[in-house]
Structure 1
Amino acid sequence: MASKKTRRVTPASELLKKLGVHLDPELLVLALTHRSFAHEAGGIPTNERLEFLGDAVLGVVTAEALYRDYPERPEGDLAKMRAATVSQRPLARIARRLNLGDFILLGKGESRTGGYDKDSILSDTVEALIGAVYLTHGLETTRSFVHFLIDDALEEAAVLGAGLDWKTSLQEICARLGLDAPAYQNVSNGPDHARIFTSRVVIDGEERGTGTGTAKKHAEQEAAEQAYRYLKIREDEQTRQAETLA
C-alpha cells in the first residue's frame, strides 16, 4: 500500500551530516540508487552490490557485539537477537529515523507507489550505505558507524523475550502444552508493487491468530504473536492451578 507521506528532495550533504561520516559523492549516489531509477536512467549501476557487501559487514559487527556483550546468552538467543536487530523491519525503522527515504533515488513508478517508505527499499539502502562506508574507511570506522545505527535496536532485542521470534516462541509453547505444531495459511492481494499478505495460524484445527504485512513472513510473525499471547494466558492459568494443588 502506498504511503501518504509527502516526499521532499533533500541534498545529499544533509544525509552525510546525519550519518556523521564522509563519503565520496559518486559512491554516496551509488549507495542511494535503487534499481528502478537505474533502469529508467538507461541501465546505470545500482546499489545492489553495495547492499550485498553491507549486509555481510553488518552481520559480522552485530554478531561480534552480541557475542561480547551477552556472554551468558546461548547461541539460539543470540541468533534471535541478531534477527531482531538486522532484519528488514528494524533496519527500516533505522532508515525512517534518518529520514532516509528523502534521499533514495527511485524510478517514477516506485516513487508514485511510495517506494521511499517501503521496508524492503529502506533496509536495502541502509545496507548499501554500510557497504559504502566500509569501502571508504575500512572495518574500524564501519564498526563505529554500525553501532551508531543499531545500538538502540540491540538494547531492545536484549529484553524482547518471546518477541525475538514469535513463530519460534509459538512453536515452543505449543510443544509445552501438547498441541499440534502451528500451521500457517497465507493469501495475498494487490498488485506486485504493493502486495499485502494476510496470514492465519491454525493450531489443533482452530484459528488462533491473524496478521497482515507487506511480506509473508511479517504477516506470519504478527499472527504468531496473537496466538502466542492467547496460549500464554492458558499456560499461565495451568501453572497457577498446578501450584494451588501442590
Structure 2
Amino acid sequence: MMIAREAYRTGIKTLFWWDIGRIYSIMLYCIDILKPERIAQMITELAAMLKERFGIVFNNEDLLAEAFTQASYVNEHQEQNLKFYERVEFLGDAVLELAVSEYLYKRYKDMPQGKLTRLRAAMVCEDSFASFARECDFPKYIRLGKGEQKAKAWERDSLLCDIFESFVGALYLDQGREPVLKFVHQVIFPKLDEGRFDGVFDYKTTLQEYLQRDGDVQIDYNLIEQDGPANERSYEIAVLADGQKIGEGWGHSKKEAEQSAARQAYSKLQQKQD
C-alpha cells in the first residue's frame, strides 16, 4: 500500500511539473512571436513566399507590411508610427470587384446580366476571399495585437477576407493593374473550371440557352461509366449537341456529373469564340 501511495504521489508531481513546463513553453512561444524582430521576420518570410509562389516582388515592402497589419497591433506599438490595413483593404475591395467583373464579362459573352451578377457575388464575398487567403497561407503572416493573438483572430473569415482584399490593394498601389490580374488569374479564376461556383446557377440551362440561341439543337446527356460501391459511386457523363460530344464531366450523382459536363462544354464553346 505504501508503494502504491508513493507511486501515486510521484505521478502527480510528474504531471504537475509536466504541465508547468508545457505552460512555460507556450508562454515562451507567445512571447517569441510578438518580439519586434520576430514580427519583422514575418514580413521578410511573407515577401519570400510571394516571390516563390506567385513571382511577386514588392518595390515598397512597407505597403506589404501595412496590408498584413491589424489595428490591434498598431495600437500596441504607437511609438513605431505604423499603419494598419483598412485603407488598402478599401481599395482592394474595389479592384477585385472590377477585375472579376471584367473577366466574367469577357469570358461569358452570352451570359445574361442576372447570372453574371450572381456568379460575381459568389466569387467576391467573405467566404470566397477567406478561402483564397488560406490557400495562399496568408494567416501565418498577419500582425496582430496580443489579445487578438490569444483569440486566434487569424482563423476568422472576416479578418482573412480583409487581409486578402488589403493585399490586392497594396499590390495595385505598388505595381498597378497587370500584376493584380496575373495574381487573380493564378488564385481565383481557376476555381471556375474546378467547379467551385457551380451551385450559383444551372449550367445545363445556360448551355441550352447558348446552343439554341439561333435555332433548335438536340442536347443529350449520356452515361459513359459508373464506378464504385453504391454509397461512394461516381458517374461519368458526356453531353452531346446534335449527336456530337461537346463535353464530359464527373460527379457523385448523375445530376452533379451532368452539371460538370455542361460546365466543361460551355467553357469550351466560350473559348472558341475568343
* TM-score, L = length of structure 1: 0.59
Higher-RCO chain (CA-CA 8 Å, sequence separation at least 6)? 1
Amino acid aligned to 2:175: H
Report what 2:187 is aligned to: 149
- Is it true that 1:62 corresponds to 2:62 in the alignment? no
Question: How far did residue 157 of structure 1 move?
Answer: 5.2
Q: Which is further off, 71-80 or 126-135?
A: 71-80
The letter for the 1-side match of 2:55 is G
Which of residues 68, 71, 75 is equivalent to 1:39?
75
User: Does residue 12 in structure 1 map to residue 36 in structure 2?
Assistant: no
1:77 is matched with 115
Matched residues in 1 for 2:63 and 2:171: separation?
A: 9
2:199 maps to amino acid: L
Q: Per-residue deviation at 1:162?
A: 5.0
C-alpha deviation, 1:158, in angstroms: 5.2
Instruction: State percent identity of aligned pairs.
Output: 35
3-state SS of 2:144 partner: coil
Tell me how far apart the structure 1 counterparts of residues 125 and 173 of structure 2 sit (CA, whole Å).
22
Cα deviation 1:55-79 (Å, max 9, x = unaligned): 1110111000111111222111111
How big is each residue's C-alpha offset from its partner over 1:145-181, in whole Å with a ceiling of 9 and x where there is no partner? 2222211333335522459xxxxxxxxxxxxxxxxxx
1:160 aligns with 2:205: no
Per mean C-alpha deviation after superposition, the further-off stretch among 112-121 and 43-52 is: 43-52
2:118 pairs with 1:118? no
Structure 1: stretches of 5+ with no match in the other structure: 1-5, 164-246
The letter of the residue matching 1:36 is: S
> Aligned partner of 2:198: which letter?
V
Q: What is the alpha-carbon distance in structure 1 between the residues aligned to residue 161 and residue 197 of structure 2?
A: 21
Paired position in structure 1 for 2:141: 103
State the shift of 1:141 in Å.
Answer: 2.0
TM-score, length basis structure 2: 0.53
Q: Equivalents in 2 of 1:36, 1:113: separation in Å?
A: 12
Q: CA deviation at 1:139?
A: 1.1
Secondary structure, counterpart of 2:176 in structure 1 = helix
Query: 1:84–1:157: 8 Å Cα contact kept in structure 2?
Result: no
Instruction: Kindly name which structure, 1 or 2, has the bigger radius of gyration based on alpha carbons.
Output: 2
- Give the superposition deviation at 1:83: 1.3
Verify the 8 A CA contact 2:123 2:197 in the aligned structure 1: no
Report if aligned partners of 2:119, 2:200 keep a CA contact under 8 Å in 1: no
